[in-house]
Structure 1
Amino acid sequence: MKQNKYDDLGFFEKYSQMPRSTGGLNVAGEWPALRALLPELQDKNVLDLGCGYGWHCLYAHEMQARSVIGIDLSEKMLERAREMTKDSAIEYRRLAIEDIDFAAGEFDVVISSLALHYVERFDIVCRKVHHCLAPGGSFIFSVEHPIFTSRAEQDWYYGTQGERLHWPVDGYQDEGLRQARFLDNDVVKYHRTAATYMNTLIDSGFRITRISEPQPAQEMLDNHPEMQDETRRPIFLLIAAVKNE
């Protein structure tokens, strides 16, 4: 199933008002951890899967990547990305992540930020990424943490006074589709265990080099007190892997 909720005008307008939409990488809580996993990008050919507004493409270009391609299924996302891009070294293409079909060894680095939990067949994506990466190339991605995606509700367990008591986890081993609510809309996500993410990478010919379950940096917590509860459970899972030579 290939979703394209972001071309729904009402959904896109709500997404456009989110802090990470208006403030970019500087207000994305997981960005410092993701940036730390990235290899040297200078003179590299970079692919961004589910590029959205193109924030990561712009960063790769700033780091002097040789070429950058961002793909996304949403024309509205790509339209916004093109508006913010002034350099021909960044190319945006409308394409579903599952449908990538690049040449063998075309890229040195493949990035994906908070997109792969919307993809049903992670194994197919891994094989295609492996194919289009040069030997020793890097695959770095973030997804919603399996503790976060295990229940479709994706919400706290509240006390009688509305206080957040704990984050419930249930059905963790039951992988598959979750009908979640996001920005007052029904959105399909796919829950996988942490082991499935890692073993699928290994089975596809990757070597995992780093795992991260980041919490917001102290500066972000100081500036956004409402994020204090984000330290109580992991919300993101970040994985860095390299293609076996």
Structure 2
Amino acid sequence: MEYKGSDVYDHEKFFTDYLKRRHREESPNNIIERPVIVELMGDVAGEYILDLGCGDAGFGRELFQQGCSSYEGVEGSTNMVEKAREMLNETNGKVHHSSMETWDFPEARYDKVVSRLALHYLAELGPVFEQVNKCLKADGKFIFSVQHPILTSSIESASHSSQRQNWIVDEYFHVGKRVETWIEKEVVKYHRTVEDYFKLLKSEGFSIDEIRECSPQKENFKSEQEYIRRMGIPLFLVFSCSKSAD
């Protein structure tokens, strides 16, 4: 069975296993991707922030600790929404139970929109980018990460041990659907080239301020061996964009 979008997180065993992996101390999300996202978000004091594919909203809790005034998440998984609402207890944060494709984005509400490792699950990005542009204030920022296109191009390496030392890169310019076995489930992702992301953003009214590949920083690793291994190939691609002036 193939799982699309956030559906796989409502499979109970997958959900439990995912949370264990996601919150382990040396998760690449925590020590490679997160520092770059935090840096690009900058000062969030007093800001209104939207998080697309917010998961358990752990990042939302961090943003409140950094002084944001408002945090809203959009999440399609019932299990994740329940966890996210628990995470945001005693804050004014909100979680909307909806897919990104069907959510009713408000107009000119947010200072920043963030999305962490969720957009590569969507078949069509253009309409979502259009809605993100609409919901940002005039000087708003859109910051997001996706799985690096080198990884999504070919799924053959993903079938090997998580401790692999090399990767197979193939079919890079054949964009579209990929089915990857992840935590024993068949998960659908969509491969796009770096150029595809860039052109989509430009066509939907964004200026691209930075593109980052999340080079591992040695000080974030306890294991020298793990640091050396992670220096072998980029896992993440991050864009920082500004809403273009009309």
Provide TM-score, normalisation by structure 1.
0.90
Q: Percent identity?
A: 33
2:64 equivalent among 28, 37, 61: 61
Asked if the contact 1:106–1:132 (Cα under 8 Å) also holds between the matched residues in 2, the reply is: yes
Asked if the contact 1:153–1:181 (Cα under 8 Å) also holds between the matched residues in 2, the reply is: no
Provide TM-score, normalisation by structure 2.
0.90
Give the drift of 1:224: 6.9
Asked if the contact 1:157–1:167 (Cα under 8 Å) also holds between the matched residues in 2, the reply is: no
Asked if the contact 2:158–2:180 (Cα under 8 Å) also holds between the matched residues in 1, the reply is: no
1:121 equivalent among 119, 124, 136: 124
Opposite residue 29 of structure 1, the aligned amino acid is I
Asked if the contact 2:31–2:220 (Cα under 8 Å) also holds between the matched residues in 1, the reply is: no
Asked if the contact 1:156–1:164 (Cα under 8 Å) also holds between the matched residues in 2, the reply is: no
The more displaced of 139-148 and 33-42 is: 33-42
Instruction: Find the residue that maps to 1:69 and give its secondary structure.
Output: strand
CA distance in 2, matches of 1:157, 1:70: 34
What's 2:16 paired with? 13
Instruction: Find the residue that maps to 2:139 and give its secondary structure.
Output: strand
Deviations along 1:146-204, one digit per CA (max 9) or x if unpaired, are 0010012343889xxxx956322111011100000111111000000000111100110
The more displaced of 126-135 and 218-227 is: 218-227
The reply to whether residue 185 of structure 1 matches residue 185 of structure 2 is yes
CA distance in 2, matches of 1:205, 1:240: 13
Opposite residue 102 of structure 1, the aligned amino acid is F
What's 2:87 paired with? 84
The more displaced of 1-10 and 113-122 is: 1-10
Gap runs ≥5 in structure 2: none
Find runs of 4+ consecutive structure 1 residues off by over 4 angstroms. 22-26
Gap runs ≥5 in structure 1: none
What's 1:109 paired with? 112
CA distance in 2, matches of 1:165, 1:112: 29
The more displaced of 187-196 and 207-216 is: 207-216
Q: 1:204 to 1:154 in 2, by over 3 A?
A: farther
Q: 1:92 to 1:25 in 2, by over 3 A?
A: farther
Residue-pair matches, total:
240
The more displaced of 113-122 and 35-44 is: 35-44
**RMSD, matched Cα:** 2.3
